[in-house]
């Protein structure tokens, strides 16, 4: 960002009269001092507000003959001239266009700001007394919150090789394995399926499968989302349904998705692990997410550029201000239930106390919301939601659909009446649409 240049050099004196005198060891300025200030303002094209914003420091000359009382004159010329622009025009702040976001779907770009300053050369007066000025210290860039999308983009997700630990009962036309990779030094396990038959020359298209919230103490890799994984695997996809940290045999603590970046890190490291997997095509990786897994899918697609297409069922896809406003708000007069020891909750109250509410500090809350970066979606998006969903408001998907369209990105949206959070009544239809979408964008080059 540009900065105002500090004035330096000799200040010419007006013809005649005195600028200052020394009387009994005190420096006293003439009555023409204020005219001199205005003279310099005009000559050096000062910013119109520079003079008005000065708060001069006063030096009083006592016992000066000819004055009945003390004469106090402001010494502010150096501070005034430091606001001047010698080039003839007042510089305008160089704001990054991405920082201003009239709509939630506008991309927020990081701004690179360097606060610089120069030390003005002291002005010289006939008394040879130099006026000292202080050098401003450049301000440091604030540290981004770990959940901030820009902070997530600055993080490296190396993944690792995928290690098959156990071979499971095969599916209809695919093999099943219990396999792990590493994420931040933790072993993250999951169910891995690999299609049977002749592998395409570039490898199989692959899908990272993000399950919804299940109590980590009850979650078992092979007992949940069996039918969902089966349908995707039958249609020629490697599917990796990962167990986030703290789930089943995965190492680490189950920290929750909304107040901690750990699950998002596990998801993005799974993408990298699949990219390195010999049987997967690194250029054809998609992502599927349900409920909380939809939250993780949307975040991953605005952080990484490697996810070619995403499908979200009943997703927690509102912005953080929407989550606070409209999703499981505390009921007045009802005691808060005892939190699950394996699930770190309470992020709402903690963050509001530390950073303020969304109304008080919108920059913080929008900065951690994936919805603020929809122009950066890495690929097309498909949304599914039951209109009467009692777990996650359908409005989250409705709003996201409108926001993605406004961002100019490909998006499809399907609503299902009279169903539930899992779309059990319309499972076959929703899955058919899901497979057709992945076939179009991961197999057909759509």
Query: Which phi and psi angles does 335 have, rounded to 5°?
Result: -60, 145
Q: Which long-range contacts (CB under 8 A, 24 or more apart) does 77-80 make?
A: 77/11, 77/36, 77/37, 77/40, 77/123, 78/7, 78/120, 78/122, 78/123, 78/131, 78/133, 79/54, 80/37, 80/40, 80/41, 80/46, 80/50, 80/51, 80/54
Domain ranges of the chain: 1-89+96-133, 150-329+341-443
Of the CATH numbers 3.50.50.60, 3.40.50.720, 3.20.20.210, 3.40.50.1820, which one belongs to the domain with range 150-329+341-443?
3.40.50.1820
Q: Rounded to an integer, what distance in angstroms lies between the CA atom of residue 315 and that of residue 300?
A: 14
Taking the model in full, what pTM does it have? 0.67
pLDDT, position 343: 38
Q: Would you write out the chain's pLDDT as a tens digit for each of its 446 residues?
A: 433 333 333 334 444 444 445 445 544 445 444 444 444 444 434 443 333 333 333 333 333 333 333 333 333 433 333 444 433 333 333 333 333 333 333 333 333 333 333 333 333 333 334 444 444 554 445 689 999 999 999 999 999 999 999 999 999 999 999 999 999 999 999 999 999 999 999 999 999 999 999 999 999 999 989 999 999 999 999 999 999 999 999 999 998 999 999 999 999 999 999 999 999 999 999 999 999 999 999 999 999 999 999 999 999 999 999 999 888 655 555 444 444 433 345 788 889 899 999 999 999 999 999 999 999 999 999 999 999 999 999 999 999 999 999 999 999 999 999 999 999 999 999 999 999 999 999 998 66
What is the per-residue pLDDT for 369?
96
CA 198-432-318 angle, 5° bins:
115
- Residues 86, 118 contacting (CB under 8 angstroms): no
């Amino acid at each position: 960002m540009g900065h105002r240049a500090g004035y330096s050099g000799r200040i010419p004196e007006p013809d005649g009269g005195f600028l200052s005198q020394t009387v009994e060891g005190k420096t006293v300025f003439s009555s023409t001092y204020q005219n001199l200030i205005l003279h310099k303002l005009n000559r050096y094209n000062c910013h119109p507000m520079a003079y008005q914003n000065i708060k001069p420091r006063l030096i009083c000359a006592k016992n000066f003959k000819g004055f009945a009382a003390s004469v106090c004159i402001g010494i502010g010329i150096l501070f005034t001239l430091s606001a001047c622009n010698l080039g003839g025009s007042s510089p305008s702040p160089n704001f990054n266009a991405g920082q201003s976001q009239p709509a939630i779907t506008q991309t927020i770009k990081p701004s690179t700001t360097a606060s610089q300053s120069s030390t003005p050369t002291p002005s010289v007066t006939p008394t040879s007394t130099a006026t000292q000025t202080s050098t401003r210290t450049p301000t440091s860039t604030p540290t981004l919150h770990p959940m901030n999308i820009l902070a997530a983009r600055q993080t490296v997700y190396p993944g690792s090789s995928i290690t098959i630990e156990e071979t499971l009962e095969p599916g209809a036309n695919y093999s099943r394995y219990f396999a792990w990779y590493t994420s931040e030094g933790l072993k993250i396990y999951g169910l891995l399926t690999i299609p049977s038959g002749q592998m395409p020359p570039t490898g199989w298209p692959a899908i990272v499968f993000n399950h919804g919230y299940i109590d980590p103490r009850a979650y078992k890799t092979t007992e949940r989302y069996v039918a969902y994984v089966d349908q995707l695997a039958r249609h020629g996809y490697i599917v990796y349904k990962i167990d986030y940290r703290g789930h089943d045999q995965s190492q680490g603590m189950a920290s929750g998705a909304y107040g901690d970046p750990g699950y998002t890190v596990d998801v993005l490291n799974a993408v990298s692990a699949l990219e390195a997997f010999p049987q997967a095509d690194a250029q054809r990786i998609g992502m599927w997410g349900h409920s909380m897994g939809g939250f993780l899918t949307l975040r991953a697609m605005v952080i990484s550029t490697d996810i070619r297409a995403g499908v979200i069922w009943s997703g927690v896809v509102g912005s953080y201000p929407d989550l606070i406003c409209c999703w499981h708000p505390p009921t007045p007069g009802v005691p808060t239930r005892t939190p699950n020891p394996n699930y770190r909750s309470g992020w709402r109250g903690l963050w509001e106390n530390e950073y303020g509410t969304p109304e008080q500090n919108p920059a913080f809350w929008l900065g951690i919301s994936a919805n603020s970066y929809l122009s950066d979606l890495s690929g097309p998006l498909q949304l599914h939601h039951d209109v009467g969903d009692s777990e996650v408001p359908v409005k989250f998907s409705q709003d996201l659909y409108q926001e993605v369209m406004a961002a100019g990105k490909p998006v499809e949206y399907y609503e299902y009446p009279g169903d539930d959070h899992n779309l059990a009544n319309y499972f076959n239809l929703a899955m058919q649409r899901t497979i057709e979408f992945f076939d179009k964008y991961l197999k057909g080059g759509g």
